[in-house]
Structure 1
Amino acid sequence: GLPVPPEALQLFRVDGHVGIQVYTPEDAVIPNADEISKTMELSLAPAAKHIPSMDPNDQQLVFVCHCIEEPAGFPGSHSIRYHSNPFLVYIGSDDFAWMVKQRIRQQLEVAEEEFVLWELCVVQDGIATPLEDSDTVLEALGLDLPDTLKETPQAWGPHLALQGPPNKP
């Protein structure tokens, strides 16, 4: 059997190191043939934990990807390259970037001296914008309106990323 109970795990679909869909026990896991790509895979990871001090209705489940910004074809331009496995984290409606960074560091069980080498950013349209510690994360992602709070992560829209070299968390 599994070393952890099934309810402690989350199954989600990844395409090119970017999380795109979380599956619930009620979902059919086999995607349609037109949804399959060469870079798609299923990932099983520990389930994200709700923030205990906050009403679950005030929390959003969000994918966090790993990326690095690399020089592109012409001087001064950059492109985003994703690496490693994405993961899920709950973010509260009023959470600042410093709070989310701390939660991610604890979830990944990474030492502070390693984690400072990474930058929390919002990636949109191929551009990584670093978050300031005082930024409200759901607002930066465009998920701060009451009708946008939901249990399903956003696919291919603005998303959170830890920007840094692939040999870290």
Structure 2
Amino acid sequence: MEKIKKYIPRIILLDTIIYTLIIVTLYLILSFCKLMFREWIYIVSAIIIMFGFVAGIIQLLLKIKKKIVKVILISIFVMLFLLSTPIIYFFGAFGYTPEHVVEKDGQKFVAYVNGFNRTYVNYYNYKNIFVVGNQKRIEEYYGKGGFDPIENQYGYEYNVENTTYYDENGKIIKTKP
């Protein structure tokens, strides 16, 4: 057991795998409690996991004794990393949904804006800085996409085309055009 405790901090890849397992376990526990992490937790965790895997693989490659094998494997890894970076960036850029803590109808919500093709704002119950309720409570539809109606940096008046209210179980309570 002492040997394991001694080597865990030295192996970055193992630390990253342990961190990933902790995050997945916490995600499952929160799902069971009808909660979910806030968006920023997922973003920070994804960055930590990506850098951990890259650093862990480089660390393992640098431990290879034969110089020619080490150089070839590091070269292959660098090429694969450079080829995959635009793909990761593409999914990160289009998968990002801005979040805002807002007060609506006298209640605190976390609003997630999906404004790629059509603009939707989904409101979830605010719990704390780390978690929100996992059941959508309000959905606002704004029509044509490409903007954030909550941040509204240009001062434009956006009209809500449709608002849907949900109960705690996800059933529609009412819809307003």
TM class, shorter-chain normalised? under 0.3
Q: Which protein is bigger by CA-based radius of gyration?
A: 2
TM-score in terms of structure 2 length? 0.24
Q: Which has the higher contact order (CA 8 A, sep 6+)?
A: 1
Q: TM-score, normalised by structure 1?
A: 0.25
